[in-house]
Amino acid sequence: MTLPLEEYRRKRDFGQTPEPNGTAQPTATTPTDFPRFVIQEHHARRLHWDFRLERDGVLKSWAVPKGVPLERGVRRLAVQVEDHPLSYIDFQGTIPTGNYGAGLVEIWDSGHYGVVHYDDRKITLAMLGGKMRGGYELIHTDQQNWLLFKISDDTEQPQS
């Protein structure tokens, strides 16, 4: 077992990067019972989208090389990466050259989500974002790799 956020902190020099160091945990409650999510478009060495879910006091995080699918029938690789601090949910900015993940980070979508099912092999979610809306599933395939796809549209109930 590693300490929460240990890997996140180990990879970064907070004297160099504008990213949050994660020591300040927000305690304010959100105006809704639903947890938050964010998708950050990250112009790193390779462009990818970082999909992050507020859960267990951290942001569970996946790097999605081709971005999250907005329609059914498209499966996208999502590579799980280290948990990020909750304060990262608002982060936008440029990580300077020479630092881990150097490049521009912009928020691509955000909102809340509902959990239909959540375990180490399968996650089923009802997404309530601006762009990412409806039922989605993450299926663990091997190692850090998951497959992310849409299973139902906005008005339908996702099946667990």
Residues that bind Mn ion (CB under 5 A): 42, 50
Q: How far is the CB of 61 from Mn ion (least distance, A)?
A: 8
Contacts of 103 (CB under 8 A, 6+ apart): 42, 43, 44, 45, 94, 95
Q: Which of residues 44 and 115 has its CB atom nearest to Mn ion in the complex?
A: 44
Per DSSP, what are the bridge partners of residue 133? 128
**Sign of the dihedral through C-alpha 9, 93, 127, 47:** negative
- What are the residues facing 39 on neighbouring strands? 51, 109
Nearest residue to Mn ion, scored by beta-carbon proximity = 42
Cβ of residue 63: shortest distance to Mn ion, in angstroms? 5
Nearer to Mn ion, 11 or 122 (CB): 11
Q: Which is nearer to Mn ion, 50 or 54 (CB)?
A: 50
- The distance of closest approach from Cβ of residue 153 to Mn ion in the complex, given in angstroms and rounded to an integer, is 28
